[in-house]
Amino acid sequence: MIDVKVRWNTKCEDNHKFWRILIDGMEYTCASVLFEIPTYTTRDTVYDSIRREKVDKHHISCQANEIIWKGDVVIVR
């Protein structure tokens, strides 16, 4: 299973890649996320490089079987 967590990108500088998506702990940005499986909300502790400390963030989370990138759109299955 692939651990997926999605949250709003508060530092969106291009006015396009609105979402941060963590896939097995690696962070990416994307314009849109399409979920084809059930999701749930989690509260996770992540490192904030600007504050230089760990902070709590809320995510839309799931355990996926497949991740498909179509340009800047992510499909989670």
Q: DSSP per residue over 35-50, as a string? A: E-S--EEEEEEEEETT
Q: Please enumerate in sequence order all residues whose Cβ is within 8 A of that of 75, keeping only pairs 6 or more positions apart, or say none.
A: 34, 36, 67, 68, 69
pLDDT at position 51 is 86
pLDDT at position 58 is 97
Q: What is the pTM of this model?
A: 0.89
Over residues 48-74, the mean pLDDT reads: 94
Over residues 29-49, the mean pLDDT reads: 94
pLDDT at position 68 is 98
